Amino acid sequence: MIHVHVHPDKATAVKSVAASIAKLIRERAAKGQRTVLGLATGSTPIPLYAELVRLHREDGLSFRTVTTFNLDEYSGLGPDHDQSYRYFMQQQLFNHVDVTPSETHVPNGLAKDVVAECAAYEAAIKKAGGIDLQVLGIGRTGHIGFNEPPAGPSTRTRQVHLDEVTRRDNASFFGDVAKVPHHAVTMGVGTILDCRRVVLLAWGEGKAEIVQRSVEVAPADSCPASWLQQHTACDFILDTAAAAKLSKTH
């Protein structure tokens, strides 16, 4: 079941998400427990990470008890490539908070044995106790992580082929669509459904149609995000533009 929360703008929306992440980290830390966060990249979560950095600097939020697992990484890009998701995470969050570097995990886009890398990633998530809260964005194809359609609940961390829509949507970051990799390593839809809480963020009118399909059309592999309807604790955090095509309040 997806619970939809509509905020007037993304700045207000990310404050509420950051506050609930901070509460989770603090409550678990007070009980001596680590918090395992699943993280996304792309333009959507940038203001969320800025708010978490602000909470660290101004409100004493510590990430010393936090372990992170990112959803995905482009195949062929190393951590020093300025479009790699490892690089993005360092710039947006990890370099600015007190997280232990070895507790941050992003799939290795340069792995020689991709199958072994994916199996090791799944094993590392399990060893950490599973993901407490997973942050997601959504692509216009309905992808979560880089699970392009068709993809369903049986999919696990693996290498995937990127949809041309996704490559074009990400071309501006690379300066040229030809430079956007054709493959990525991503957690599967099944890996995401295993997370104890899922929080999907979407802003702007460009996401309104796929948000409506994900929430209101029966789950199908043709819209991987629609499988989130089967999760017991999934929140969609939207601005008014991204919520504009929903037929009712959820």
Q: Cβ closer to ligand F6R: 40 or 118?
A: 40
List CB contacts of 28: < 8 A, sequence separation 6 or more.
34, 35, 65, 132
Residues in contact with ligand F6R by CB under 6 A are: 40-44, 71-72, 137-139, 143-146
Beta strands in the chain (DSSP E): 2-7, 35-39, 66-70, 72-74, 104-105, 133-136, 158-161, 183-186, 197-202, 234-239
Per the CB < 8 A criterion, the answer to whether 211 and 174 are in contact is no
Q: Cβ closer to ligand F6R: 72 or 117?
A: 72
Number of H-type helices and E-type strands within the chain: 8, 10
Q: How far is the CB of 55 from ligand F6R (least distance, A)?
A: 21
Q: How far is the CB of 68 from ligand F6R (least distance, A)?
A: 12
Q: How far is the CB of 213 from ligand F6R (least distance, A)?
A: 15
Residue 67 — φ and ψ, nearest 5°? -115, 140
Q: Cβ closer to ligand F6R: 67 or 70?
A: 70
Q: Cβ closer to ligand F6R: 61 or 144?
A: 144
Q: How far is the CB of 33 from ligand F6R (least distance, A)?
A: 26
Residue nearest to ligand F6R as judged by C-beta position:
137
